[in-house]
Every structure is written in structure tokens, then in C-alpha cells.
Structure 1
């Protein structure tokens, strides 16, 4: 049966909608920290640790789901992970112990995210469009994914306040179930010669490429910052005397401006040096965080901070994946992007967990904010020497 109906546009649309649901739901978890902790008598470290485990499981499984998607197509991976995403929310709604929360929010949803977010979806989109349009297409897909955060956060906050956190998680389970039919156009039936290269050859190429590891270490910093801010910003603002709705609005603004940032930097990535754009993003993040901490925390400063951070939030993703595609081609893009993303999630694990750890011991988040600034400067320096050019047989054999 011919699959001519699987046009690049349809793949882009369905892949983008998967990202909308995947990222939109994922970014609501910060709203559940306080109500779940109060109901179950937990400290903030318990919920933070579960989300940190989710991040590290997501990162560890990302190269595996990426490899499967590269060899057999993204569709089956997205279907299985969509099912796990739904099951994870159902079980999370019934979690009354730390172990239950770790299994549902940490393990199941962590695995689910590896197949319903950037690496797998960007991989199939990258293979479907031309090289000239690749960076822009990735930017569009991530912009739509960012729209999910903007739309889901205020809605989730309202629903939690109206019907409680348990029923809200069940509604999120329904949303993630929609991912399953969206996976059908992502079924890839043709496997290129490069995708049949041995895993050893693919990993050897990446392992010996200096720029690949510089890029990965920079992406670690991105993960630390988004893991910390995404999990702890609402609670930080409550500590500063602002209501829960301010935190929800702040995260929604991050989601809104992520739309513009990912599209803008995705477009610029097709016109300018991607490494230099990454240097700019990480440098600006350090400056934005520093200025935010120097001024009194008010609704005005919070909303300005959220808007600026949102613009810089996922703008690293199309650029980072675009550099990986330039270095190694697209046939192994999902797996190699997944390896880079693993470093991102190690950072997200540390950012999410350390926020709760330092808060429970020191009573504030000051130390973690300072670490976020220092790491941002480090990431800018790491991206300076990266060169954009094809390397090795992965590109030579790419179709």
C-alpha cells in the first residue's frame, strides 16, 4: 500500500501536535508540587525528587527510543509512549506514597516523554523535509510544542483549583491519549542505508567528535536551568509573597514566548551560525537571571523575567538538533539527538532535585540561582569553538 499521503506537511503538522500535547502536559507538573505535597504530608524534596527521576529516566531512555525510531520509524515509538504517558497520569492521580509517585511520575512518564518529545519527533521531521528547510521546520514544530505550555498551564491551574489535583491528572491522561492516533502519519516504512549501520559505528563516530561533546555539555546547562525553574518557580513566587496564580501565569508566559523564541531561532539557524546563536542564548540567560535577582520580586518583574526566559527557553533545541544533523546527517538523528538530550536531562535532574534539596536545608533557592548563572556562562564558552561541517561516514552514507 502506498503511503503518498504521508506528505512532509502532514508529518510536520502531526509531529507538532504530538509535541504540543507532550510538552504542554509535561510543563504543568510544577502546579502539582504544593497540592500533592500538602495532601500527602510530603516535604518539597519528595515531589522534586520524583520529577528529577522523571528527567533522568527520560534522558537515559531517549537514545534507546531514538535508535528504535531511526531504524523502524517514529510511529510505533510514539504509540507505545503515548500509552505509557496516559497510564502514568492515571497512576499518578492515585499516588499516596513516595514509591507510587516515583513509579508513575518518575518511571512511566519519564519513558513516555522520550518518545513524545523533541528527539524522536524532530528526527522524523528532519528526515521528511529538505536540508534548506530543516532548521525552520524544527523551529515551527518546537514553537507549536511551546504553545502547549501557554495553553495548558492556566487551564490546568484553573482545573486544579476547581476540582482538585487528582481529577486534573485524569483529565491530563485523556489529553495524552490523543497522541496515539496522531502517530499514524509518523510511520516510516523505508530504512536508509545509514540507519542499518551498526550501533558501534554510529556511536564511535559521535564519541570521537569533539564538537558533539561540546554541544552536549552546553545542553546540560539548558537542562539544569529549565529543570529548576520549571519545577520550582511557582513555589519560589509563593515564598516571595505572590499568589499561586502568579506562578501559573509566569509559566504560561514562558510557554507563550517560547513560541516566538523557538520559531525565531529556528529561522535564524538557517541563515546564521548556529553555535554563535547558542552562545548568545546562554549569555542572555545569565544576564536575565542576574537582573531578576537584583530587583524586588513583583508581578511586573516576574512577568518580564518569564517573558524573556521564555523567549530563550527552547530556542536551543532547533539549533542543537540542527548542528547534530549537520555533523552526522539525519538517518541517525533521533538517537544522536537523544544522546545530547541525555546530558540535558542529567542537568534537569540536578536542577529539579537541587532546588528541593537546598530549599529544605537552607530555606531558600539563592544558591541554585547562583549556580544557574555560573553554568550559563560556562555553556556560552563551550559553544564558542564548535564548527558546523559534515563529518565521517554517517553523512557520506546519509540519504
Structure 2
């Protein structure tokens, strides 16, 4: 039986569940790696390896998650993923050895991240929302998701300094179980896409990412930008703590940074109805490359304020663009699997770069070199976006010629 169109309540619920997942699995962990939290008992390299490995596992899981989302409801994906995430945080809270953290993150948090992130939400929107309304739905999910940072970063910073990082981790795990797991089964609609919308194809061949020049260039841009952003999100609190600022102060600013994402989260998908979405993607990547130079300097205080404010502004613009661009270029019966495979590629960088950043920081005793690398990486992502835009223009010209012919 097909699933009825998502109501406004269902879209808000979907967005809220994704916000809780991102708040715990991404934003809260950026506080956990500091020396006031788990970083005081375990090395940053180890914690980065746990986080990075989880991101890689999430990417490897993404094609399967995408295929399930193409054929079934996202309700079960998000619900069971939230329960797995809660288990991972529970094990993290009681870990006494490094291998226990790695096992919890790789075996539980990795798959859970794939099942509870924006990917299933975007697939649901592609299935159940009319094309004319999709950008608005994407904007809504993105805006509600924006509350994750302002809530979870300062809250986690406060919990770490008052009750300790282990109790804080336990509370985060219970939040995922109660809000994410139970909430998904209560508020998200039952059933999958209409039977006629389910693809009969068995797979999206990997060679498509090579043969389609536009898809290749844009996927490479997504890969690089996601690797850079994952590195920044995991280490940004530690970067400024290392520069001499109090972790609670930095965590508060990191949370406030998310408030600056709201205009971009809401307006960027609407702007894409008038301006090519790929142009918005390129511009935001280029702007973020400049903003990240502030993380290289990391002081005085006004530099830190500028970093968090401007990073929030341009990250908010960038965040919904992948979904907008891919819906515009490739929406169809295998959209979930295509998005999943693209995300699996991006997750390689999203897992490797934060770990490399942590290793370099421990080896060099400073975050300067890792932050310089992310500056260059974001500039490369902008250049790849330009290549994707040119390939898209070539496709449009060929279609116009064929139509005239």
C-alpha cells in the first residue's frame, strides 16, 4: 500500500527527528573531543578515528539505506537507526579502553548515522512531495534541523562541565532512544512509496559516476566539501580551546553559529528557483574557504566571533544545495540509491579527513596545518562545482539542439 503525501505535521516531525540525530551524532561530539571531555582521557587521534570510521561505515551503508528508502518507509529506518545510535552513546559513556569506543562508533553509530540523517528525509521528500513544492519542503527540513547546533552544542558543553562527559553521553543516548526511536514510530507515516514508483532496476551502476561528467564533477565537489566540513565540525571547538579560550565559551559560540545558518537554510532553496542552484553551491564553497582562514589564525577573540558567525551564514546556504541540485538533475525512481551511492563516496572523505586532522594535530602539536588543509579543500570543492556547472550547461545545449532537430 502506498504512502499518502506527507502532511505538514509529518514534514515537521521528520525535520525534528533529523535535528535530534544531527545534534547528538555531530554537534555534541564536537564537544566530546575536547580535553575537558573524552579528549582528556583518550587521545584526539583515537576519538577522530572513531568518528571518522563511523562516517566511513555510514557511507558504506548509504547505498543499502537508499535502496530501502526507495522501496519502503523511512519510518523504520529512522526509528531503528535512532535506537542503534542510543546504544552507541551508552557504550561510549562506559568505555574504558580505546577499542571499545572504536567498536561502538564503527558498529553502531556508523550505520545509525546513515539511517537517521538528511538522506532518508530527502528521499522521502523526493517521493511524496510534488516537484513544485520540493524546494520548500527541503527548506523546511533544513531550517528545523538548524536548531540542532544552538541546542546541543551549548547543552553538551554545560553537561560536560557540570556532570561529566560520561553522564552527558548517557543522556544523549537516552535522547536518541526516546525522541528519535519512539518518536519516529509515533509521528512518521506508515508504508512506503506508491507501488508504481518503486524501481524495478537492481542497481545504479558505479560506472555512471564516471560516464556522466556532470555527476562525476558534482559528486567530487560533494566528497571534498563534506570531508572539509566534517573536519571543521569535529575539531572547531578544540581549535579555539587550544588557542586559550574556555570550552564553555567556545561551545556557546559554536551553538550560536547555527543561528546564523537559518537565513541560508530557508532562502537558498527559494533562491534556486531564480538562480542556478549550482552557482549558489559554488559561491558558498568559495566563501567558506575564505572564512576558514579565521580558524588558521584562531585569535584574538574577534577572529573567533567572525569565524563562527560567517561560517554559520555560508554553511546555511550550502547545506540544502546538494538536495536541491540532485532533485533538479536526477529525481526519479532510483533517486534514493543514487543519492546513497554518492553519499558513500563523500563519506570516505568525511571519515578520513577528520581522522587525518586529528593525527596531524597530535603529531605537530597545533591545528594550523590541518586548518590550512581545509581552506585548500574548500577552494577545490568550489572549482569542482564550476566544472559540474559547465557540464550541466553542455547537457542543456545538447537537449536544446536535439529538440530543435
Using the size of structure 2 for normalisation, the TM-score is: 0.89
1:184-229 C-alpha deviation (Å, 9 max, x unpaired): 4243333444532223356565553221121111111221222211
1:58, distance to aligned residue in structure 2 (A): 1.4
Q: Residue 374 of structure 2 aligns with which residue?
A: 372
- Let me know the Cα RMSD of the aligned residues: 2.2
Dislocated runs of 4+, deviation >6 Å: none
Q: Residue 320 of structure 1 aligns with which residue?
A: 322
Match of 2:352 among 335, 350, 363: 350
1:19, distance to aligned residue in structure 2 (A): 1.2
Task: Write the mapping of 1:152-231 to structure 2, written as runs, cut at 5 A.
Answer: 152-177=152-177, 178-184=179-185, 185-200=188-203, 208-231=211-234
Match of 1:243 among 246, 266, 270: 246
1:2, distance to aligned residue in structure 2 (A): 9.2
Give the distance between the partners of 1:253 and 1:346, measured in 2 at CA: 29
Q: Which runs of 5+ in 1 are unaligned?
A: 391-399
Q: Residue 13 of structure 1 aligns with which residue?
A: 12
Given that 2:2 and 2:192 are in contact with CA atoms closer than 8 Å, whether structure 1 keeps it comes out as: no
Greater alpha carbon shift after TM alignment, 242-251 vs 21-30: 242-251
Given that 1:44 and 1:356 are in contact with CA atoms closer than 8 Å, whether structure 2 keeps it comes out as: yes
Task: Write the mapping of 1:127-138 to structure 2, written as runs, cut at 5 A.
Answer: 127-138=127-138
Greater alpha carbon shift after TM alignment, 189-198 vs 357-366: 189-198
Give the distance between the partners of 2:334 and 2:316, measured in 1 at CA: 22
Give the distance between the partners of 2:29 and 2:192, measured in 1 at CA: 35
Distance 1:330 1:53, change over 3 A: same
Give the distance between the partners of 1:224 and 1:7, measured in 2 at CA: 32
Distance 1:71 1:236, change over 3 A: same
Q: Residue 288 of structure 1 aligns with which residue?
A: 291
Task: Write the mapping of 1:87-126 to structure 2, written as runs, cut at 5 A.
Answer: 87-126=87-126
Given that 2:135 and 2:324 are in contact with CA atoms closer than 8 Å, whether structure 1 keeps it comes out as: yes
What secondary structure is seen at the aligned counterpart in 2 of 1:199? coil
1:291, distance to aligned residue in structure 2 (A): 5.0
What secondary structure is seen at the aligned counterpart in 1 of 2:203? helix
What secondary structure is seen at the aligned counterpart in 1 of 2:320? helix
Using the size of structure 1 for normalisation, the TM-score is: 0.90
Given that 2:3 and 2:190 are in contact with CA atoms closer than 8 Å, whether structure 1 keeps it comes out as: no
Pairs aligned (count): 386
1:145, distance to aligned residue in structure 2 (A): 1.1
